Amino acid sequence: MANQVKVGIDYFSHDVDMLQDKKIKLIKAKHGLIGYAIYLRLLEELYRDKGYYLQIDDNFNILFSDDNNIDQNVYINILNDCINFELFNKKIYEKYNILTSKRIQHNYCKATKRRKEIEIIDDYLLLNIDDVNNINENVNIIKIDADINTSNDNINSQSKVKESKVKESKVYIVDHWNSKDNLIGVRKLNKTRNKKLNLRLKEFTVEDFKTAIDKASESKFCTGQTENKWNITFDWLIKNNDNMLKVLEGNYDDKEGKSGTIKKDSGKNEKKSLFETRNEWKDKPLPDSPW
C-alpha cells in the first residue's frame, strides 16, 4: 500500500502580538478569551487537516463544540463573528463552506517550502499566483470541477485536449526562442520551467510570447550589445508576469540617443576638435560677405 502524502502541517507561526490585531480584539471584546481560544482551535484544526483551508458543515460544528466542551450556540456565534470580522474570508466561506484567509495560505506555503510538491485548489486561492511562486516554487495550482453533473468521461476528454494544446504551445514557444541565434538557447523544459510557463500561459497568449521573443531578439539591450553586457534568458522572461509585460510594452526596445542603450560606433559621430575643423576650412575660399 502506497504511503499517503502528507497535506497538513505539524505547527504554525503564532505572532506574539496576535492579540493586537483589531479583528481579534473585536472577537475578544465581544466574547472574552473564549472567543480568542475558539479562533486558535479552528486554526489548529485547519493547519492539521488540509493545511490552508478547513471544510466545515453541521456535523463538524456538532463535533467541534463537543470536543471543546462549549455550547454549540456559543460556538456558532463566535464562528460567525470570525467570518464577519474577516478573520476567515467571507466570500470563500459563503461559496464553498470552507475557512481560509490570505494569511493562512501565506503561512502554509512558507511552512511547506521543503516538500517536493504541494497542491492548492485554484478556486480557494486568495494570494496572487506570482506571490505564491515567490514564497514556494513547489506549489501546484489545481482546478476543481465546477459542474458536478458533468460526466467523468467528458471531464477526462476535455482535460486531455487542453493538456495537449498547452503542451503544443510550450513546444512552439521554446522552438521560437531557439530559432533566434542571438538568444541563449533552451535545452529542455525542466519541472521548474514547466510550472512557470504554465503560470504565464494563464495570463499571456502564444502570440504574446512570439512578440516578446521577437522584441528581445531585436533589442541590443537584451542581446548583450550595450555597455552592461546583459543578456536576456528564457528563465528571466517566464519568471513572472512583470518581466513579460516589460518586454511586450517595449521597455527594452532600442531607443536612439538614449544614454547607455545604444553603443557608440568607435570614432564616428564624435565631436571634432577645433584643430580638425580649422584644417578642413584652410584651403576653402571664404564665403561672400553679407554686407
Q: What is the pLDDT of residues 231-282, one digit of tens each?
A: 999 999 999 999 999 999 999 999 865 544 444 444 444 444 444 555 554 5
Using DSSP bridges, classify how beta strands 98-99 and 54-55 pair: parallel, antiparallel or unpaired: antiparallel
pLDDT at residue 260, rounded to an integer: 45
How many beta carbons lie within 10 A of that of residue 112, not counting itself? 22
The percent of residues above 90 in pLDDT, for the chain, comes to: 54
Contact 222, 233 (CB under 8 A): no
Q: Identify the three-state secondary structure at position 158.
A: helix
Handedness of CA 182, 223, 250, 258 (dihedral sign): negative
Q: What is the pLDDT of residues 16-69, one digit of tens each?
A: 778 788 999 999 999 999 999 999 999 999 999 999 999 999 999 999 999 999
Q: What is the pLDDT of residues 134-179, one digit of tens each?
A: 888 888 888 765 444 444 444 454 544 456 677 888 889 999 999 9
Contact 99, 42 (CB under 8 A): yes
Q: What is the pLDDT of residues 7-29, one digit of tens each?
A: 888 878 777 778 788 999 999 99
Q: How confident is the model at residue 217 (pLDDT cuts 50, 70, 90)?
A: very high
pTM check: above 0.85: no
Q: How far apart are alpha carbons 91 and 168 in whole angstroms?
A: 36
Bridge partner list, 54: 99
Where do the domains of the chain lie? 18-142, 152-248
Q: How far apart are alpha carbons 193 and 141 in whole angstroms?
A: 15
Bridge partner list, 139: 118
Q: How far apart are alpha carbons 225 and 182 in whole angstroms?
A: 10
pLDDT at residue 8, rounded to an integer: 84
